[in-house]
Structure 1
């Protein structure tokens, strides 16, 4: 290839400049992000053959690998190919091919430098680690990580050994076992990045300097590598198993435990770990857990397409929340955290102050600097008089579940709201048609049902009444997406989707407690099945009074002579009062050791049947459009075992 010549392929461009620097740019056609599909990898192989020849001939000063997309570097392998690639007859050879390609890049004598902006995760990070030197933009958009464990696998493009070589065994394994993402500065501290720049437009200049200076990354220091040597490695692996076992069940999520096994065998030898990676990876890719987690991924991605379709897309800069209780205050805080100006209204400042204090704690936990915390606090304003109603783009009511109170709030607000503003209720159980009876334009009212804790649970049910037009609902979805949540559209019916499915499950478990069964054993059984929390602890967390109110809305009365009713009468409402079915200390239920049971997962499966049955009924009634939406809604709203793919997928597979 002559100097200043350019070679173009469908996804790649390779240009040699007058300094004999090769500029290799990836811009995947037809995709908003760069992904490593088989076609992309195949084209890279062809270009690497040319680079190797130029390198041998002394015609190459170095290569800079860049992204042609503003969205990021590389977002990993192409997940849409995973089902086909999971075939054991296909996958091993495909992995060997990519391993060999990345090894060839690593062996090129001329410096091979990656310039990284935006997401560099999964296979993208594995490609970057095969390069000799890494430069990254130090901004909020640039992220590094190995999210594969969230898909039931672990890195498969030799990222296991290379990450351990660069970051050391402890940091690298934690990154792979947790699936968390790192900022550019954190990645540099772990030695995954060698140099930081302030802006994306500085990447080319810094890459050029790195190539002309023949810079190469150094591996992790001996003090870090020591933890993978000799008998220390087995002890470290044992500790990793213990800590991982506290978070996930090995029977449900085998990938992290298989990764630890791989580390225990080969963690002191990155090359051996890379070579052994393929045999350990292949069985995981086709496992039921990985198949179901891929399904969950695609369902969650589909939720992102539910907003308003026209362009320009609507923007939401101001939110007004009526009700500064736990839900209202936390919704307001979360919107402010996401960059919106928020006014929070209640009857007086004494009711608003606790919400502002909780918001401050959230901001300190989530935001990095005092400046960012102060900015978020400035965006959240107490508004006793409701002056923010007239300016807001979104009005959210989150007061007590009393029909007449909600009707009065919306009747007053309707007169002040600007045209086009969203009018939404956070009701957990009351049909929208009943609330809208007090409105001049009832078609304007939708539901935005958040879940507690707001900052953690990703689901928001977008409630559609018989009076809404499609745009009002899609506008609600757009707002939910704008604050980083996942919208599931459901029709206005008692309990909607999540509460309606949860309540029979919780009440049936409480009935078993009333008959003398151990609440600790029932909760342990639900967790053994795959739920994040048992039904009794969940009722305590929700609040016994809230649970009883929702039960009544759904036509399920709580017997007056029950322990449930007595606890409510005594003001023992669960976590928020420090006593319910359990005693609570520092936000944790104080449990006795549960009695032994021969088959806890089996008992958990029995417990979960009312939830599965009700979800099936909800779909049959058309409250939610289809089984896929019901499954993703129950996973995001209740934490229903993702590895089973949702309640209806679990029933289909004979697992529930």
Structure 2
């Protein structure tokens, strides 16, 4: 379609073919720069694409001087996205601030040249436009985007331990005002096209990608130019309003992250506080604040986490003829209903089966919140709700592409269920159990074809946890395992292929960490000190609070399976007393309004730092054992699974990477020094 449109516009080639760009000028004098990075599924701005873009800009400058060029349009040759940002693989070579600054200089100059072109420059956007891609778009004079669910803009750099470094701070504040722009940069959130237009980051919306070129042509011929944020918004960047704004930003950020763990949002606030009232000063200072962040350990480790997420996605084959569209979930309890709801939220049809119609109705009703967050219009929400179908009789089994069992953790019950299912399902349907503790091969034993069964182990809460373990039983066929990974990626989760061993990977490494923390309570250690030390290390919550959140009955069950829970422990006594944690209102903590009542305890940072390292040692030891036992295929996959499955401090790069970094610095592990 794109090439047909080019022909319709009468384009004629004017330059040699680039490797990452196509550039031509049509009969109306409009230059079309199409970014289509060679050999890549997505466009990222690396060295060669930027050098080629500089050559195109030089041609545009020459055409503008000669009055043969009426305007320039920048758009993507990829069907699914505009530009995903800078090529982060090129960040790893930097070792000094000077190197970073020297590398930034030509890119900053290039974007300034685009902004200074005397002819209109239009960015035509469909799909993802984030990071450096949005910074490039903001350097253009006008931005048109598709009104499509897939079209998203944003600045995710904070998730990589940095902030926008190609003058995105200045240009986003200019277009959206300081409140909206700073919020976008501090949170790293993805912003839909309609909202981005309301903010001022996008100027015009069109219905479909096919309309982008004609809209861009019209914008060029009419010499449209984006309007900056109005005076009322701009005044907020000036003193004294800026001082009040900075305080609110710093307070809000402090509630979410610790400055010593994630310094980049705090440095961005500092930059705005000092220079936000002067765009030219802000431009000049941005690089000075940015450079030290890029070479920090935090940024290196967070970039590693991003690459680990890509490694998990790669567990699913890129070419897979099998496409999951219908899911049948058996068991409408919290986990089963949440799985079905999440599948629907990601575009699939889900039938939900249970012995009790009342339980099914309750499970479906509970999914309303997830669906409302995903679908913003009444029509889209109604369509999603229609795809979540109560199915007490189990009629959906015969049509389903994926069947997931999420019933009681009893081997005999699961075996009987799968024995009954085997003759009813489609030949290519994926058969899976969500068991968290039973061996896949034991469940599959009665089947005529035991190689068909795999584990697909979700974590609670399903909507929030990004990882799903795809469990290979001793008899599971490889094609079924790969289908499982394909299904997991299709619902927007990260698949981790693991062996069928007690606890798989995540519960196996998490259990010793939690059980040893509970054992410390038996010896008189304060639970509050334990939890605060774990948070000081970088864990999202402490092991005792986590146990209460998961459910003490679940912890006791997993502990017994792994041989880690001694009889008569404090945990056993709480379970016997039906004090199961958050879900009953009391466990190790008393819970009020969904939060543990911890009171106030004052500990020194040095004390917490040392204790936190000691607490995490059991998790690291078990991660090493899991790698040695081949639970997953590599150390990187161990790190990926533990980060995305337990929340292990992302800025430390994973438990095995963290241990290796200590050894590289000749640091003595905390426990050894105790």
The TM-score by the shorter chain falls in which range?
A: over 0.9
SS of 1:217's partner is coil
**Correspondent of 2:387 among 361, 379, 390:** 379
Question: Per the alignment, do residues 212 and 274 of structure 1 end up closer, same or farther by CA in structure 2, a change over 3 Å counting?
Answer: same
Q: How many pairs align?
A: 653
Q: Which residue of 2 aligns with 1:478?
A: 486
Check if 1:222 corresponds to 2:231: yes
CA distance in 2 between partners of 1:505 and 1:435 (Å): 28
CA distance in 2 between partners of 1:588 and 1:558 (Å): 28
Q: Which moved more, 1:135-144 or 1:380-389?
A: 380-389
Question: How many angstroms does 1:649 deviate by?
Answer: 0.6
CA distance in 2 between partners of 1:432 and 1:318 (Å): 23
Q: Which residue of 2 aligns with 1:150?
A: 159
User: 1:501, 1:614 within 8 Å by CA — same for their partners in 2?
Assistant: yes
Q: Which moved more, 1:205-214 or 1:119-128?
A: 205-214
Q: Which residue of 2 aligns with 1:578?
A: 585
Q: Which residue of 2 aligns with 1:134?
A: 143
CA distance in 2 between partners of 1:328 and 1:591 (Å): 32
Question: How many angstroms does 1:306 deviate by?
Answer: 1.7
Q: After superposition, what is the alpha-carbon deviation per residue over 1:546-569, rounded to whole angstroms, capped at 9, x for unaligned?
A: 111111111223432x33222211
Across the aligned residues of Structure 1 and Structure 2, the Cα RMSD in angstroms comes to 1.6
CA distance in 1 between partners of 2:51 and 2:96 (Å): 19
Check if 1:40 corresponds to 2:49: yes
Question: How many angstroms does 1:87 deviate by?
Answer: 4.7
User: 1:548, 1:558 within 8 Å by CA — same for their partners in 2?
Assistant: no
Q: Which moved more, 1:26-35 or 1:46-55?
A: 46-55
CA distance in 1 between partners of 2:445 and 2:32 (Å): 64
SS of 1:76's partner is coil
**Correspondent of 1:206 among 206, 215, 220:** 215
CA distance in 2 between partners of 1:219 and 1:240 (Å): 23
CA distance in 2 between partners of 1:72 and 1:121 (Å): 10
**Correspondent of 1:191 among 200, 224, 241:** 200
Check if 1:406 corresponds to 2:409: no
Q: Which residue of 1 aligns with 2:516?
A: 508
CA distance in 1 between partners of 2:26 and 2:382 (Å): 47
**Correspondent of 1:67 among 73, 76, 100:** 76
SS of 2:240's partner is helix
Q: Which residue of 2 aligns with 1:566?
A: 573
Question: How many angstroms does 1:57 deviate by?
Answer: 3.0
Give the TM-score, by structure 2 length: 0.94
**Correspondent of 1:592 among 595, 599, 610:** 599
**Correspondent of 1:439 among 438, 441, 447:** 447
Q: Which moved more, 1:79-88 or 1:289-298?
A: 79-88
**Correspondent of 1:495 among 493, 503, 507:** 503
Q: Which residue of 2 aligns with 1:278?
A: 287
**Correspondent of 1:109 among 112, 118, 137:** 118
Q: After superposition, what is the alpha-carbon deviation per residue over 1:461-504, rounded to whole angstroms, capped at 9, x for unaligned?
A: 11111111211111111111111111111111111111111111
Q: Which moved more, 1:414-423 or 1:33-42?
A: 414-423
Question: How many angstroms does 1:3 deviate by?
Answer: 9.4
Give the TM-score, by structure 1 length: 0.97
Q: Which moved more, 1:634-643 or 1:519-528?
A: 519-528
Structure 2 segments unaligned to the other structure (5+ residues): 1-9, 670-674
Check if 1:430 corresponds to 2:444: no
Any runs of at least 4 consecutive aligned residues in structure 1 with deviations exceeding 4 A, and if so which? 2-5
Check if 1:91 corresponds to 2:134: no
**Correspondent of 2:458 among 443, 450, 462:** 450
User: 2:582, 2:591 within 8 Å by CA — same for their partners in 1?
Assistant: yes
**Correspondent of 2:307 among 267, 273, 298:** 298
Q: Which residue of 1 aligns with 2:29?
A: 20
CA distance in 2 between partners of 1:590 and 1:438 (Å): 48
Q: Which residue of 1 aligns with 2:3?
A: none
Alignment of 1:387-406 (within 5 A): 387-406=395-414
Q: After superposition, what is the alpha-carbon deviation per residue over 1:342-400, rounded to whole angstroms, capped at 9, x for unaligned?
A: 11111111222221111112111222112222111111111112122222111111112
SS of 1:140's partner is coil
Check if 1:267 corresponds to 2:267: no
Q: Which residue of 2 aligns with 1:651?
A: 659
CA distance in 2 between partners of 1:618 and 1:66 (Å): 46
Check if 1:167 corresponds to 2:172: no
Q: Which residue of 2 aligns with 1:307?
A: 316
CA distance in 2 between partners of 1:109 and 1:326 (Å): 60
Q: After superposition, what is the alpha-carbon deviation per residue over 1:86-130, rounded to whole angstroms, capped at 9, x for unaligned?
A: 554532122111111111111111111111111111111000000
SS of 1:653's partner is helix
Q: Which residue of 1 aligns with 2:541?
A: 533
User: 2:312, 2:640 within 8 Å by CA — same for their partners in 1?
Assistant: no
Question: How many angstroms does 1:226 deviate by?
Answer: 1.2
Q: Which residue of 2 aligns with 1:81?
A: 90
SS of 2:367's partner is helix
SS of 1:416's partner is coil
Q: Which residue of 2 aligns with 1:323?
A: 331
SS of 1:110's partner is coil
CA distance in 1 between partners of 2:264 and 2:142 (Å): 29
